């Protein structure tokens, strides 16, 4: 899910950057170019420690993007009808606001956002890798790392989502930078920042996906040779690129994956695992634990319901 979304975002971002300098390329050609020339060589790397400085640069870039979006909102550069950059924005991406207000959260479409947020819990596959590579890797230090990282991420998500929606309303694109003019230098720099952030984050997410595939294939560690890793990298990247060429709405990928995989990881699998653990305890399980199993299973059923509604609403966006 993550690497597919990254590929889609990078395709749109680089295409807009190329257009800014007068180079008009199709989305497909842009995606194929960056995949073969940039992403594939990075994903072939076996030691990702060299990417650490660029990851920090990516965080700074996200901070700049949030600041730029705030400046454009408060400055009214895209406000209807006299926004400076408004004429350069496609009609379908220009600001559009209704009068539903807070009641909009009761609309079934709100499940799309909930399911998109569920993808935040799908970074679990890199947890063991991050723990093993953490200096002085105690559980306490790892908890601090995870807690602070999620807090910073949540802050970025909330700020950028708020500024994006307040600026463009219901016309907000799945990739909000698509709403901004290619002639807007401030936001073009934001595209550069996002591109740098995603390009050097891509191998981290990809490594987790590749390791997961090998785990599913039950490939022993001793047989995970460089040759096998390279072939698997090409295969996975080809599939991801193919999906990204066909599906162009990143919000669909995030919402559908969140409705299915995300909800399963948050609500369903933990409930089943907890029930299995309590069952193995047999008569040693306390009455409180047995009652907690019922609560966990109810939570799992709730997750299935939310996932079904979210998946249905996500599929409707394709129509």
40 CB-near residues (< 8 Å, 6+ apart): 233, 234, 237
Q: What is the pLDDT of residue 201?
A: 84
Contact 46, 226 (CB under 8 A): yes
Residue by residue, what is the 3-state secondary structure of 106-122? HCCCHHHHHHHHHHHHH
pLDDT in tens, 81-115: 889 999 999 999 999 988 877 777 777 777 777 77
Residue 27: which of 37, 7, 12, 10 has the closest Cα?
A: 12
Q: What is the pLDDT of residue 120?
A: 66
pLDDT in tens, 172-186: 988 899 999 999 999
Cα separation, 11 vs 174, in Å, equals: 13
Contact 251, 178 (CB under 8 A): no
Contact 149, 160 (CB under 8 A): no
Phi-psi region of 89 (alpha: psi -120 to 50; beta: other; left: phi over 0): beta
Altogether, the residues listed in the chain come to a count of 319
Q: How far is CA 93 from CA 87, 191, 314, in A?
A: 11, 17, 20
pLDDT in tens, 52-81: 777 777 788 888 999 999 999 999 999 998
Report the percentage of the chain scoring pLDDT > 90.
40
Residue 116: which of 170, 181, 175, 168 has the closest Cα?
A: 175
The pTM (predicted TM-score) of the whole model is 0.77
Burial 189-221 (b: 16+ CB within 10 A, else e): ebbbbbbbbbbbbbbbbbbbbbbeebeeeeeee
pLDDT in tens, 186-235: 999 999 988 888 888 888 888 888 888 898 888 888 888 889 999 999 99
């Amino acid at each position: 899910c993550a690497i597919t979304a990254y590929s889609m975002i990078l395709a749109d971002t680089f295409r807009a950057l190329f257009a800014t300098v007068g180079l008009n390329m199709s989305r497909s050609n842009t995606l194929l170019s960056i995949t073969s020339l940039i992403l594939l060589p990075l994903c072939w790397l076996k030691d990702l420690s060299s990417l650490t400085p660029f990851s920090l640069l990516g965080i700074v870039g996200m901070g700049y993007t949030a600041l730029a979006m705030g400046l454009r909102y408060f400055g009214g550069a895209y406000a209807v009808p006299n926004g400076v950059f408004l004429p350069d924005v496609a009609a379908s991406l220009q600001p559009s606001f209704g009068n539903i207000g807070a009641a909009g959260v009761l609309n079934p479409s709100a499940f799309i956002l909930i399911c998109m947020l569920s993808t935040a819990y799908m970074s679990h596959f890199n947890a063991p890798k991050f723990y093993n590579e953490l200096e002085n890797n105690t559980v306490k230090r790892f908890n601090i790392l995870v807690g602070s990282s999620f807090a910073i991420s949540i802050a970025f998500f909330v700020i950028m989502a708020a500024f994006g929606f307040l600026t463009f309303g219901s016309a907000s694109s799945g990739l909000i930078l698509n709403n901004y003019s290619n002639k807007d230098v401030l936001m073009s720099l934001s595209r550069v920042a996002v591109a740098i952030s995603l390009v050097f984050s891509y191998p981290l997410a990809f490594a987790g996906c590749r390791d997961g595939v090998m785990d599913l294939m039950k490939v022993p560690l001793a047989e995970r040779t460089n040759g096998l890793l390279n072939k698997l990298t090409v295969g996975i990247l080809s599939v991801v690129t193919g999906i990204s060429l066909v599906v162009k709405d990143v919000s669909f990928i995030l919402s559908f994956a969140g409705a299915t995989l995300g909800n399963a990881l948050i609500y369903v699998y933990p409930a089943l695992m907890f029930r299995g653990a309590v069952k193995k305890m047999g008569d040693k399980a306390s009455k409180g634990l047995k009652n907690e199993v019922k609560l966990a299973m109810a939570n799992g059923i709730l997750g299935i319901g939310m996932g079904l509604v979210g998946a249905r609403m996500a599929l409707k966006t394709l129509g």
